[in-house]
Structure 1
Amino acid sequence: MSKLESYSMEQLKERLSLITRSIPKGSEIIYIDYPVHSNGGDLLIMKGTEAFFKAYGIRVRARYSVLDFPDGLKVPPSCILVLHGGGNFGDLYTKHQLLREKIVEQYPGHRIVMLPQTIFYKSELNIGRTAAVFNRHRDLHLYVRDTLSYEMARKKFKNIKVFMSPDMAHQLYPIASASPPSGETLFFLRNDIEKTPQQELLERSGGASSATKDWTSLYTAAERKALVVMMKLYRLPGARGPLQRIWYRYSQFLVNKAIREFGAYGSIVTSRLHGHILACLMDKPSVLLDNSYGKNTSYYNAWTNRVPGAELSAETLAN
């Protein structure tokens, strides 16, 4: 995938249709590892994924998160197991990776499709363990979001089908802003294990204004408490059905809150990949800083480098 290739937001949304090579229109599926947490990027991916299923007539038989996937689940032979995309493939977020590998091991006779992911491992030993599990499966399809992930997957995973694809959140394009923006810039900066020295320097130098936020700071204390309560309740037997309906409505409320926040600003500076993608979905100018392992730059180079108004930080380009 060359950086010289040029995509509009409409074309990035259209490219998602290629996933129907693995999940044909009208398929019956089980959707696994959808997010039940505060990361708005994952929530945008989930909403885009559900919009994709609807657009292509894909029937969702059941949905499970990492909190409530049951042992010994009976899956009809014709049903495709579809795993949520994002950036948790590897050894940084182990509970999601362990669920992924468990499903591949336990369902050797089913087609399994992993929606667009970024792959990152700190340990060669860990990726070797994943490869040993994956390479035993006969019908495993992996979609990745950048060339580094694609090259790693093709090298390590010998017996599975690997494809390049933009992030599932692109299915949401376009997202309209509810109110006219101000001329101010929102600094939407991550505050977790993927934070970089470049971002810390920006913050220390005063380059980030008082309008600096992250996903969780968009929510009130009561909204964050409600999230914690729901995550605890998800683990209770029998709670999944009713709670899932409540969570889907509540997660849409959280996504709408992020959209309103972004809509209030004229431009976005962000180290969150989905801060960048949300800005693109809203046709809003953005400057993207990298994360700790190059995910943001790799994604920008693969897909959004020619989207009008989307820029990569000059400091990131220099590194």
Structure 2
Amino acid sequence: MTNENTPFIQSQIALLRKTFRTLLAPGEDYALVDFPDHGNVGDSAIWLGEIEVLLDLQGKPPRYVCECESYDPAALRAAHPEGPILIHGGGNLGDLWMRHQSLRERVIQDFPGRRIIQMPQSIFFQSPDRARHFWDLAQRHGDVHVLTRDQRSHSEARAALGDQCGLCPDAAFGLGELSAHHPPKAGVFCLIRQDAEQSGFDFAPVLARPGVMAADWLDEPAAMSRMVKMHSALKALTAGRSGAQRVRLAKYQRLAQARLDRGVRLLEQGEHVLTDRLHAHILSVLLGKPHAVLDNNYGKIHGYMAAWTREAPTARPVHSVDEALAVFKAWGV
């Protein structure tokens, strides 16, 4: 089936390449930290998109990768003694998801003489003191560059770092077009978040309609992650010390791809999608699937849409469940 979003998707990929190129010299070695080892499909989509664009631009994989728990500055220095250190993008720059924020701040402190590049992020601090602490760290370092995904985040970063920030699409667009492999089972699939960013909308009027399915994508089958990690552990036994980073990256790629595939299987169940998750929106664009998009609890999603995806043909921002129902009625659902 033809994806009417194709020209738009290609424009986003071009913007990603152009922005990354301003911070990375051709062929330059790099590290990429903070692999998202959890069930949130969106973060896996971002990781895979980042790797796709970086491989294309740099012609090589990262020399060092890690998740929060496996970060080791000595190992990073040994594997990647010079050159930029990239931090995985997403929506966790701030004090809502402190595990990732703490890693970000530690990297900045551990590597005062290295260029630190924060891949495209949304910024949200509840505490002004936490915000000041982070921006003070970045300013004292002197070579921290922050890419942001929306105008509000960009304004905050620019006030602190000046020209060392940029506005950039979400790296999940680096995946390019995606294809559904199964026909829809329902007229509408609702992917509704159940975490700290949940919107608070009452979805009951939608869920009560016939032909509607609903889920979130945080919970993944335990066996999926366990099997990938067991396979990677067996490969690591034969790889030796010199292949440790290669084996780790391969494990991350398999985990992220399995999680992305699970997300696509969820979204393809609906002929149309209703969501309050940013990456359910972005993956629906990549799939060419008509969808309505509610905001999360602090304006991240509609802020992103205002900056980048308002021209995507199959996407409609909505501000209430009633408005979403009106959109689906116009679509004949």
What's the TM-score once normalised by structure 1's chain length? 0.86
Take 2:321 and 2:123, find their aligned partners in 1: how far apart are those partners? Answer: 20
Q: What residue is the counterpart of 1:215 in the other structure?
A: 217
Q: In percent, how many aligned pairs have the same letter?
A: 27
CA distance in 2, matches of 1:74, 1:216: 33
Give the superposition deviation at 1:315: 2.2
The SS at the match of 1:197 is coil
Q: Please say if residues 91 and 120 of structure 1, whose CA atoms lie closer than 8 Å, have aligned partners that are also in contact.
A: yes
Assess, with a 3 A threshold, how the Cα gap between structure 1 residues 13 and 87 changes in structure 2: closer, same or farther: same
1:50-102 Cα offsets, whole Å, 9 max, x none, are 11112112531111111100143426554210110000000011121111111
- Is 1:62 aligned to residue 64 of structure 2? yes
What is the DSSP-based 3-state SS (H/G/I as helix, E as strand, rest coil) of the residue aligned with 2:146? strand
Evaluate the alpha carbon distance shift between residue 103 and residue 174 of structure 1 in structure 2; reply closer, same or farther with a 3 A threshold: same
Q: Deviation per CA, 1:227-259: give whole Å up to 9, x if none.
A: 9999xxxxxxx9975555334313312211222
- Asked if 1:276 corresponds to 2:281, the answer is yes
Q: Secondary structure at the match of 1:118?
A: strand
Report if aligned partners of 1:30, 1:61 keep a CA contact under 8 Å in 2.
yes
Counterpart position of 2:328? none
- The residue number in structure 2 matching 1:193 is 196
Question: How far does residue 158 in structure 1 lie from its aligned partner after superposition?
Answer: 3.4
For 2:81 and 2:251, how far apart are their aligned partners in 1? 30
Q: Which residue of 2 aligns with 1:178?
A: 181
| TM-aligned CA distance change 1:205 to 1:171, over 3 Å | closer
Write the deviation string for residues 23-60 of structure 1: whole angstroms up to 9, x where unpaired.
22311001111111111000000110111112112531
- In structure 1, the partner of 2:304 is 299
Q: TM-score, normalised by structure 2?
A: 0.82
Over 6 Å off, 4+ runs: 224-230
Is contact 2:139-2:161 (8 Å) kept?
yes
Please tell me the residue identity of whatever aligns with 2:168.
S
Stretch deviating more after TM superposition (21-30 or 203-212):
203-212
Q: Which amino acid aligns with 2:108?
A: V
Cα pair 2:95 2:130 within 8 Å, conserved: yes
User: For 1:235-246, what aligned pairs fall within 5 Å after superposition?
Assistant: 242=247, 245-246=250-251
Instruction: Kindly provide the amino acid, as one letter, of the partner of residue 168 in structure 1.
Output: A
C-alpha contact (below 8 Å) 2:30/2:85 kept by paired residues: yes
Q: Is the 8 A contact 2:229 2:251 kept in 1?
A: no
8 Å CA contact 1:134, 1:160 repeated in 2? no
Q: Is the 8 A contact 1:85 1:114 kept in 2?
A: yes
SS at match of 1:184: strand
2:34 is the counterpart of 1:30 = no
Does structure 2 retain, via aligned residues, the 8 Å contact 1:140–1:160?
no
* Higher mean C-alpha displacement, 91-100 vs 242-251: 242-251
Match of 1:258 among 245, 260, 263: 263
Q: Supply the distance in 1 between the matched residues of 2:182 and 2:176 (Cα, whole angstroms).
A: 18
Q: 1:312 to 1:65 in 2, by over 3 A?
A: same
Contact 2:187 2:212 in 1 (8 A): no
Q: CA RMSD in A?
A: 2.7
Structure 2: 5+ residue stretches without partners = 1-6, 232-240, 324-333
TM-aligned CA deviation for residue 180 of structure 1: 3.6
